[in-house]
Amino acid sequence: MVRVGVHVSIAGGVDRAVGRAVAMGCETFQIFSRNPRGWRLKGLERGTVERFVNGIKASGIYPVVDHMPYLPNLAGPKEDVYLRSVDALSLELERCSMLRIPYLVTHLGSHLGSGLERGYLRVADGINRALSGYDGDVILLLENTAGTKNSVGGKFEDIRAILDRIEKIDRIGICFDTCHAYAAGYDVRTLEGLDTTLARFDELFGLSMLRLLHLNDSRGGLGSGLDRHEHIGLGRIGENGFRLILHDSRLRNLPMILETPVDHDRGDAWNMAKVRELAR
């Protein structure tokens, strides 16, 4: 069976996320290790770290994934925000090491009109700066984007241009978001489209760089550039599309994190059950 989980709240302390993940039946899960909507950072207390690490060991859940907060923008031209973003990345890598989290996912950001080439250079330089002073073994996962205006990472070629400038390439992997890919023009809902998408991925990166799936349906159409996640099977990718994805031997054994909506009718449990149903 597939390894599936969701993004889990750290309300009350990061260690509380483990029990929540276990209660939901997660085989993997994702967190923010801190408040994702602010720059202020509270240090991790020793007891919290020990409870988190021991809880993960006891649970058998693997891997745990951390996600960068929302405010950092590694592609942006504003120097003050950029420097804070690089610092945030450096600190988050260290927090992952403390918590023994193997993967840290980052968005690549927005060039804010300064141009894609400038955005590539900024992202690569920021990652190189953060990794230059980091001695741990956390893998930084670059996430593809939905191709929204001024975003960096909507096309595989964007990510390749960044990777070509990374110095510690052994510390880098890729997180593939299905909603983002579809919105950016990759037709993962059909067998032919999925094969074409993965063949291009393999050509540019090698499939070994693909470490994680963000499994989300899309409210927007193919190539719409609309970053709006939908419940599994209820969006434009649909049940048949996810059935193809979940039965593809190149993807099936990867950890899968759902970032699907939570509303009155459906939530995380419904979406995990739907994934397991479609994966049978």
What residues are annotated to the active site?
37, 67, 70, 107, 143, 177, 180, 214, 227, 229, 259
Q: How far apart are CA 108 and CA 103, in angstroms?
A: 16
Q: How far apart are CA 88 and CA 67, in angstroms?
A: 12
Query: Which residue matches tokens 């039946």?
Result: 25
Burial class of residue 226 (count of CB atoms within 10 Å of its CB; 0-12, 13-18, 19+): middle
Query: Which residue matches tokens 């449990």?
Result: 269
Q: How far apart are CA 77 and CA 61, in angstroms?
A: 39
**3-state SS assignment for residue 201:** helix
Element spanning 146, H or E: none
Contact status, residue 123 vs residue 108, Cβ threshold 8 Å: yes
Q: What is the dihedral of CA 138, 112, 34, 253, to 10 degrees?
A: -40
Instruction: Return the structure tokens found at 157.
Output: 């070629």
Query: Which residue matches tokens 């989290």?
Result: 101
